Copies of this chain bind each other. A is one copy, B any other.
Amino acid sequence: MTTEHEQDPVHCAISDALSVLGDRWSLLVVRDVLRGINRFDSLQDSLHIARNILAQRLASLEEAGVLVKSPIKPNGKRMCYNPTPKCLGLIPVLVSLIDWTANWSSEEQKRWAKVIDKTTGEEVKIGIVDNNNNPIPMSQLSIQF
């Protein structure tokens, strides 16, 4: 794959993102790390992912600059994985995925993302707004990637 076509719509910002995140597990690992689950075995317990695949994903997320791997105690061998600023940058992706499911799934238990402004304690939301910060309904949008 990844052949070099001159006019290549596959090579765009979305596919760049998906080359790191476009699989069944990566975003769930990111979610767990943001939740504070940062050890190999706790992640495996939480996700029930195959251990070899987890090792692979952690390595690729580290290489992508999304996680940092560091020993728990200096020079130790026990590791932990923590979120980088680039990882925090994925919060809008996670929130919009959660809200999409909440909005559009027919399931009983609709879970909304809850994001809190630490300074006010207030709940915040993700959305599309115009220059005056007024929300705009989705049906009114046209997208140009």
* A residues with CB within 8 A of B: 1-3, 5, 7, 9-10, 12-19, 21-25, 27-28, 31-32, 34-36, 46-48, 65, 85-86, 88-105, 107, 110-120, 122-136, 138-145
Q: How many copies of this chain are found per oligomer? A: 2
**Cβ of A14 and Cβ of B36 under 8 Å apart?**
no
A-B contact pairs, 30 of them (CB 8 A): A2-B35, A9-B46, A9-B47, A12-B31, A12-B111, A13-B110, A13-B111, A17-B97, A19-B24, A22-B24, A22-B25, A35-B143, A35-B145, A65-B104, A85-B139, A90-B100, A92-B126, A92-B127, A93-B96, A94-B143, A96-B96, A111-B145, A113-B145, A114-B145, A115-B144, A117-B142, A122-B130, A124-B141, A127-B127, A127-B129
